[in-house]
Amino acid sequence: MAEDRHGIGNVDSETLDAVAEALRTAETAVALTGAGVSTASGIPSFRGDDGIWERHDPADFHRRRLDADPAGFWEDRLSLREAIYGDVDPEPNAAHEALATLESTGHIEAVLTQNVDGLHDAAGTDRVIELHGTHRRVVCDDCGHRRDAEAVFEAASGDGDLPPRCDCGGVYRPDVVLFGEPMPDVAMNEAQRLARDSDVFLAVGSSLSVRPASLLPKIAAEADSTLVVMNYEETPRDGSATHVLRADVTQVLPAIAERV
């Protein structure tokens, strides 16, 4: 729905103005993004009705599976990649671009993301903290060498020699947090610090139901940050939010960026 003098969708113009003013006057503002930002680029959600985990068993992507059956893990990982991306090469949408603009103009400090698609980087955001890692890289389980994932996936799909291996002989794995693994300490510590230090915290396109990322807006609100929740569905943090925006994030974020 296009913006008019009344705002966007269910969000009135006064709310958009208030969020823009909060960003304009904030010393430190950060954004947390979830699947709702990626779905607008054609990437299916992992959770919820008809989500990826309705069609694929999360246990197939557990750390134990990689250790016990790396070839089987990779066979299922190739199937998962096809389910997520198919023949589409997703590109940043207006929400990604608006956040990149807000960072470039100095109105947000960083983007913390639960998404693993790399679209914030592609949109031009400089400081992206990838809480769950990224599908765009693989990492050797032995020596830690990282490389672009595309060539590895193409080779694995083409010759069927699984699992793909590093020059050191170790097994490559997607550079993401697998089931059964802890979140990366460096990323989470930095995200928690930014949440505590923020004057404004934007929670965008996330159900805020998956820990520990879901705790970040709670940390921000308890530190007296202005919490802004932008999500179509209700979240557990709505009650502590200063503003709750039920609208398309690809519309409200650009509208806010324009007002800032």
Question: What is the mean pLDDT of the segment spanning 154-165?
Answer: 83
Residue-wise pLDDT for 62-113, tens only, equals: 999 999 999 999 999 988 888 777 767 889 999 999 999 999 999 999 999 9
Q: 116 a known binding residue?
A: yes
Give the pair of three-digit tokens for residue 167: 């020059």
Per DSSP, the chain holds a count of helices (H) and strands (E) of 11, 11
Indicate the helix (H) or strand (E) that contains 257.
helix 249-259
Question: Do both 107 and 21 map to the same domain?
Answer: yes
Question: Do both 39 and 52 map to the same domain?
Answer: no
Question: Rounded to a whole number, what is the distance in angstroms from the first to the last CA of the chain?
Answer: 21
Residue-wise pLDDT for 214-230, tens only, equals: 899 999 999 999 999 99
User: Of the residues 96, 107, 120, 132, which is catalytic?
Assistant: 132
Question: Do both 205 and 142 map to the same domain?
Answer: no
Residue-wise pLDDT for 122-135, tens only, equals: 999 999 999 999 98
Question: What is the mean pLDDT of the segment spanning 203-207?
Answer: 92
Domain CATH number, residue 153: 3.30.1600.10
Among 15, 7, 26, CA closest to 199: 26
Residue 100: the pLDDT is 97
Residue 3: the pLDDT is 45
pTM (2 decimals)? 0.88
Residue-wise pLDDT for 14-65, tens only, equals: 999 999 999 999 999 999 999 889 888 888 776 666 667 767 788 888 999 9
Question: Do both 37 and 110 map to the same domain?
Answer: yes
What crossing angle do the helices spanning 249-259 and 13-25 adopt, rounded to 10°?
Answer: 60
Question: Do both 208 and 260 map to the same domain?
Answer: yes
Give the pair of three-digit tokens for residue 235: 């979240």
Phi and psi torsions of 73, nearest 5°: -55, -45
Cis bond before residue 184 (omega within 30° of 0): no
Annotated catalytic, 132?
A: yes
Q: 249 a known binding residue?
A: yes
Question: Do both 142 and 244 map to the same domain?
Answer: no
Question: Do both 22 and 108 map to the same domain?
Answer: yes
